[in-house]
Structure 1
Amino acid sequence: MTTGVPTPVTGAGPFRLAWQRRRRSAVRFWAGYRTHRAGLVGLAALTLFAVVALTAPLTVGSDVAGATDAPGQPMESPSGEFPLGTDRFGRDLLGLLVWGSRVSLLVGLLAAVLSVAIGTLVGVTAGHFKGWYATVLMRVTDWFLVMPTLVLAIALATVMSRSLGTVILAIGVTSWPTTARLVRAQTLAVESRPYIERAKALGGGHGHVMSRHVLPNVMPLVLAQATLMVSSAILAEATLAFLGLGDPTVVSWGGLLQEAREAGAVSSGDWWYLVPPGIAIAAVALAFTLCGRAVESVLNPRLGVDR
């Protein structure tokens, strides 16, 4: 017998509903992202770099950096055996370039995550609490903004031990102010909305308001800023390695440029020692920038970024 009462849908719990909303959001995001040709080019390039980095132990081996059993003669020009020539120790530069992609991408990603995390924490708390707390945080942020980031990173890397952790820390703790400023402005805009007042009136504390209402609304900005920060972090890592402040026990693109400088590749015209690492750094930085601009345009259509 039909009573006219709708039968409740089984299995539609809160977790399933949340997953469905996230899935629809991801589909909408991809539909918007794939309309950006430059963003697709950047994504394809990053996919290629990621595959090359992940498969490096299989394609070039884990002992490519060993100088004791180098397969070639020092500073050989490109040939069939060594497509990119050899370095000053006789090592295959193509293998070093492939292996160096792992370090450069890893340092760039981790440094960008650290920088964006610090900037998000400072920006959200400064925008929420206001008063003297926000004033102090913003004055510290302004101080970091007026100081050259590279100089601060060099100073920090100089006084600490030479390791990948030091490079990541030096880049991360000196490049967060821009993110903090952007996140604070977005937090102030979110805090002015009526539902924030209702949440506070219903007893929502500071942690509830920041984690459940403010942070989800600033995450699109944080995501776009993170993709843009990776390219800056990779360039900063290459600069520190070129100045001799990186980890001497690992191979990176910046480290290859530093070794080329020490070997006198510039004065002797050994272009194969300089050009490939430089092109790799420029290409991956450009790819992350293209992806970041596309993500920023999709998440904030008002920007009107060219496609």
Structure 2
Amino acid sequence: MNTAAAPPSAAPPSPRALARRRRREALRSFAREYSRRRAGMVGLVGLLLLVVLALCAPLLVDPADLTVTRAPGAAFEPPSARFPLGTDDYGRSILDLIIWGSRVSLTVGFLATAVSVALGTLVGMTAGHFGASGGTAGRLLSSVLMRLTDWFLVLPTLVLAVALAAVLPRGTGTIILAIGLTVWPATARLVRAQTLAVEARPYVERARALGGGHLHVMAWHVLPNVMPVVLAQTTLLVATSIIAESTLAFLGVGDPTTISWGGILESARNAGAISSGIWWYMVPPGLAIALVALAFTLCGRALEAVLDPRLRERR
């Protein structure tokens, strides 16, 4: 009779290891589901190419060729082998201007979106949480925050952004602040609705019963559940922010010391390119704005479909 002891069983994985495994599985599942969205993949590839182009702009374009005193060509040259997209009224290559301008347009788009999303998430989550479980004082705070959100929501966004950009000192930081402070209300209302849905779930009530305070509930239970909505909203707002920056630059309230796609369009308008039929000065920057907005929109819709189970079932 074999009396040898059986080998000891392996120790169960720690909670931290289980959490890491679940996160890896969730990321793999997300990647598989996103890769099935052809439109989202097209938008993602386009955005990656655009980001690489913006990062490599100093290697592709000589900044000296972008100055009006050292232009490499003659004014208003049509597209040719030397200048694939023609030149502007100073003789600068339109292609070089678009490549260099992508840096400013993308930077403003990302940073303005970060300001808007951060502000909208903070306001929406605070209003939703204290409106659901903050008592009389909490409901008053929620009401004040949402009335403030409604006030910003009914204001004309473009007019408010132009007013802020005109009052504050000119610069890229002013444009970022002006856009970020005008497009956050939609995010706030979306996050508030999602927060109210999360606050009604049993595990949140259990956390409160066990002594979890407002900060604990918001940071560990509400925020992780509203992040998918925030992520999808972020990709959509980047496109809105880039278009807003281009609009402000076209209206002449942008930063005159930097080159952006909207600034190129504004220069084309001032140079009379529209009445003169110089299409290569207007069409390329307009197409660049439209294509990057389309790419971000495709990614945002794909993320929304992947992260929302109801939309995933309709696929």
TM-score by length of 2: 0.93
Following superposition, the deviation at residue 213 of structure 1 comes to 0.3
Residues 64 and 70 in structure 2, CA contact (< 8 A), matched pair in contact too: no
Deviation at 1:197, TM superposition (A): 1.0
The CA deviation string for residues 3-45 of structure 1, in whole angstroms up to 9 with x for no partner, is 5753315xx5554433322221111111110111111111111
What aligned pairs does 1:1-307 form with structure 2 within 5 A after superposition? 1-2=4-5, 6-9=9-12, 12-130=13-131, 131-303=139-311
Task: State the SS of the aligned residue for 2:64.
Answer: coil
Shift in Å, 1:179? 0.6
- Residues in 1 aligned to 2:46 and 2:292: alpha-carbon distance in whole angstroms: 7
d(CA) in 2 for partners of 1:3, 1:208: 45
How much does 1:300 deviate?
A: 0.1
Relative distance call for 1:305 and 1:142 in structure 2 (3 A) is farther
Q: Is the 1:293–1:305 Cα contact (8 Å) retained in structure 2?
A: no
CA contact (8 A) 2:65 2:72 kept: no
* Partner Cα distance (2:112, 2:278) in 1: 32
Alpha-carbon contact 1:65-1:251 (below 8 Å) kept:
no
Q: How many residues align?
A: 305
Aligned to 2:135: none
2:83 aligned counterpart, secondary structure:
coil
Pick the structure with greater CA Rg.
2
Deviates more, 1:145-154 or 1:205-214: 145-154
What displacement does 1:99 show? Answer: 0.6
String of CA shifts for 1:25-84, please: whole Å, max 9, x gaps. 111111110111111111111111111111111111333421111111111111111111
- What's the CA shift string for 1:143-192, capped at 9, x where partnerless? 11111111111111010111110001000011010110010001001001
> CA offsets per residue over residues 197-241 of structure 1, 9 Å max, x none?
110111100000000000000000000000111100000000001
Segments of 5+ residues of structure 2 without an aligned counterpart are 132-138
Aligned structure 1 segments of 4 or more residues deviating by more than 6 angstroms: none
CA distance in 2, matches of 1:202, 1:84: 66
Identity fraction in percent: 63
Distance in 2 between residues matched to 1:62 and 1:15, nearest whole Å = 50
Change in 2 beyond 3 A, CA 1:247/1:110: same
Over the residues paired in the alignment, what is the CA RMSD in angstroms? Answer: 1.5
